Structure 1
Amino acid sequence: MHVISDAPSASHHDGYVTGPHQAWFAFVMTFALMLFDFIDRQVIVSLFPHIRSEWGLSDKQLGSLVSIVSIVVAAGGIPVALIADRKGRVKSIIVMAIAWSLATISCMFTGNYGQLFAARAVVGLGETGYGSVGAALISTLFPRRLRSAALGAFFAAPSLGSVLGVFLGGIIAAHWGWKAAFGVVGVPGLVLALVYLRVRDYDSVPLTSGTSRAPQRLGETLSHIFGTLARTPTLLFVCAGAAAQLVTVSAIWSWLPSYLNRYHAMDAEAASRAAAAVVLIGALSCTFWGIAVGRVAQRKPRNKLPALSVLCVTTSAIFITAFGGHYTGDVQFRWIVVGAFFMNCTVGVVAGVAMDVIHPGMRSTGAAVLSLFQNMFGLAVGPFLAGILSDRWGLQHALTLTPLFSLLAAVFFAIAMRSYDQDVARIAAVERDVAPAVAEDRVPEPQTE
């Protein structure tokens, strides 16, 4: 594990802080861990029919097994990001990967709902802060011109991981039982954590520049960080919009296998394969929309936000038509596939917008604020709310109502556009002070916490 200094240097390596080879290695490794983060998180949704049959759980209880992970991730994201910004991102990522992988493996030894719920909570504890810390590492190692594309590709990993989680869970459960799925998907994360030791980190950027006194105590640091974030309205409205869109996404991700099982008369394995195909389309579209929106906003970056508004309205209209109309069978499934192409439109773009308006010295923390909103008010709400609505009115009505949150997302993105230019200008001088540079590799001295 190496640390790269941010001291000025004559060699800028085309805008890369560590050089292109090291930056792309860091990207590949961080992407791979994010992939297994979501394989471990989402494998359970393909197991719902098996768990429901064996333990007699309600849809609300099943939804809670997904939502608890997101709740714990949201609650712990900011503290973990604060530690990562000050102690090092690479070390934090390694610890998190080991923790969530071991917790996933432990799920195969549970004997009832309470034990599985507790084990899933520990999975969330291990995954806490990973997305925000990984995004901060990538956004800093890559030049600004590649930031949106790199983050768009990075945030395709959750969708791809969800695809593999749903797909593998259905196959493994059909052949070796549903508990075996947790053991199979938990091991690779441990291996990747060891390889991650070779990823290079960068020195933390001071929160103040020039002769200004940097905050020394924890209280001062927290006050400085959250005061700055609170004065960044673009970040707050983008966080709200991202969360609202993810209510729709997470409801579809979590309940589509069960919907196909109940309403299309598919067995659990076939339903998992079909749902995995839908999520795969969403994964591919994440990168597509990251690039497409970036090009639309090339001359005026704030145009990313109205573009997101239009895409969110489109998402809502398609899914309400798919689940609320009179379509059945193959025709309905085609509508769902079209909706999947639009539903992940925000993921990579909102991360890029957030990085545009966040001080370089607290990008992990700023990204953790985004992650908090996305997990607590998006990923945690969708599965649980859809489960409650399903218990009351049926799963089809539940999946008709949850896409209304995409309309709310469109409103938030439109409001964020009004403050974007001002927030970007405020940190422009700070960005110029962080000169891309490569220094001698050095292994950091052991630190005590």
Structure 2
Amino acid sequence: MHAPLIEPTVVDIPVRQPAVPMYAWVVFALTVGLLFSDYMSRQVLNAVFPLLKSAWGMSDTQLGSLSSVVALMVGLLTFPLSVLADRWGRIRSIVLMATLWSLATLGCAISTRYGEMLFARALVGLGEAAYGSVGIAVVLSIFPARLRSTLSGIFAAGSAFGSVLGLALGGVFSAHFGWRWSFAAMGCFGIVLVITYSIVVTGKRLTPLLPPGLRDVSGKPGVRISFRTLMAGLFSSTSVRCAYVGSGLQLLVPAALWAWMPSFLNRYYALAPGKAALCAAGFVLITGLGMSVCGMVTDRVSASNPTRKWASAIVYCLASFMLLVVAFRLPNGPLQLMLIGAGMFFGAGSCGPSSAMVANLTPPQIHGSAFATLTLANNLLGLAPAAIITGAIADRIGLFGALNVILVAPLIAAIVFVFGWRNYTKDLSRLTALREQAVR
């Protein structure tokens, strides 16, 4: 039997690692910076929800659709565009994507009605579609495996920190200059950052940092594999499939809260739209801190036992579920807000462990496509439906009731992770046996 073109990487090997070059950290910082821009462009809309509702007479379902269409486009297109990026060149793809979402955000600023805004937001989603998967693939390709959960958690937290900036700055600009300038500022920031990225991050400088066989990230032609081999690598075990699904389900609640927290504070705490957006940004910041901390904790507790990544993800899901259930059963007040913040701290904590699981259970040569699959699950199961489902339910039973309904998602995610955990040892043994058989 001849060996396959690629082999799965199934465990973290505790070997002594050389120091990470400073340039790798520069690339990481700029890649996370573009993720900031990505989510600033995506979430600035939520800061002006009350103003758009008043100006255009929109329903909550329509408002939710403007948010969800971005995640829907990401969900539908992330996989094919990530596969193309693996082949065409990840760096060139990143520059093209960031340019598109920045220009589309400027298009939102000049929209005059709902249809135009919906189209511009769809273009934002088109530009952002493959960035998360391609960006993290670039990062993980130039860092040692022992940092996977930490880097993945911090990278995922970039979405929260970008959302914080989008909400906070969007609230400030809309209060002082009008909602159109909120979009214009985000678009201009993206343009400046993508120019900087294209100058600093080059294939020539990245190539020395790459492991053998991964020239695709440099911007040169990537690895060519058959579609059948690609699918086999992406869905090789029950465990990796559970990692995809569990990660996506847990993100439904934080995505809904990110989208609707300004409106929640406006309607139930009587805060003005600008102040509500600033306060909501604080909750999103807590989510981002939770992503980073949970990723670091996961790497520490799983250093000698990779299966503990699963236990960590389960704990984060259950903590988020219990804290938020209690919070939304309390009357409005400081205690409710404190518990919502605590629940949001753990709300996306499984992002780091999930990314590390996927990286461990898929071949490095297709990590761009593997993270695209994870992004697909994150968007179709969590980010895309969150805002519009919450808005549709809110039109019927109110926003408070809608937020209570969706809280079941992290509990279901925990169950999925438990199933993956129970199958992990069996899947790991099977994958190892297949690898050994292939090299005979």
TM-score by length of 2: 0.88
Q: Is the 8 A contact 1:258 1:271 kept in 2?
A: yes
Partner of 1:125: 126
SS state at 2:226 partner: helix
> Which of 354, 360, 364 is the matching residue for 1:360?
364
**Matched residues, percent identical?**
36
Cα distance change of structure 1 residues 90 and 421 upon mapping to structure 2, 3 Å threshold = farther
Q: Give matches, 1:264-283, under 5 Å.
A: 264-283=269-288
Once the 2 structures are TM-superposed, how far is the Cα of residue 417 of structure 1 from its aligned partner?
Answer: 1.2
> Which of 252, 276, 288 is the matching residue for 1:247?
252
Once the 2 structures are TM-superposed, how far is the Cα of residue 310 of structure 1 from its aligned partner?
Answer: 2.0
SS state at 2:307 partner: helix
List per-residue Cα deviations over 1:47-98 (Å, max 9, x = no partner).
1000000111111111111110011111111111112212221111011110
TM-score by length of 1: 0.86
Partner of 1:44: 45
Q: Give matches, 1:226-375, under 5 Å.
A: 226-323=231-328, 325-375=329-379
The alignment of Structure 1 onto Structure 2 pairs a total of residues equal to: 407
Distance 1:401 1:174 in 2: 32
Cα distance change of structure 1 residues 355 and 428 upon mapping to structure 2, 3 Å threshold = farther
Distance 2:375 2:251 in 1: 11
Cα distance change of structure 1 residues 55 and 427 upon mapping to structure 2, 3 Å threshold = farther
List per-residue Cα deviations over 1:325-381 (Å, max 9, x = no partner).
132122221221111221121122211111111101100000000000101111011
Partner of 1:96: 97
Q: Is the 8 A contact 1:86 1:204 kept in 2?
A: no
Once the 2 structures are TM-superposed, how far is the Cα of residue 195 of structure 1 from its aligned partner?
Answer: 2.0
Distance 2:386 2:127 in 1: 21
Cα distance change of structure 1 residues 427 and 361 upon mapping to structure 2, 3 Å threshold = farther
Q: Is the 8 A contact 1:315 1:403 kept in 2?
A: no
Q: Is the 8 A contact 1:205 1:361 kept in 2?
A: no
Partner of 1:149: 150
Q: Is the 8 A contact 1:320 1:401 kept in 2?
A: no
Once the 2 structures are TM-superposed, how far is the Cα of residue 155 of structure 1 from its aligned partner?
Answer: 1.3
Q: Is the 8 A contact 2:283 2:344 kept in 1?
A: yes
1:67 equivalent in alignment to 2:71: no
Partner of 1:56: 57
Once the 2 structures are TM-superposed, how far is the Cα of residue 301 of structure 1 from its aligned partner?
Answer: 0.8
SS state at 2:48 partner: helix
Partner of 1:435: none
Q: Is the 8 A contact 2:87 2:223 kept in 1?
A: no
* Structure 1 residues without counterparts, runs of 5 or longer: 1-11, 208-214, 431-449
Distance 1:67 1:151 in 2: 24
Partner of 2:420: 416
List per-residue Cα deviations over 1:231-259 (Å, max 9, x = no partner).
23222111111111111111111101101
Partner of 1:407: 411
Partner of 1:396: 400
Partner of 2:169: 168
Partner of 1:85: 86
Cα distance change of structure 1 residues 299 and 107 upon mapping to structure 2, 3 Å threshold = same
Q: Is the 8 A contact 1:163 1:279 kept in 2?
A: yes
Cα distance change of structure 1 residues 175 and 342 upon mapping to structure 2, 3 Å threshold = same
SS state at 2:112 partner: coil
SS state at 1:136 partner: helix
Distance 2:117 2:16 in 1: 49
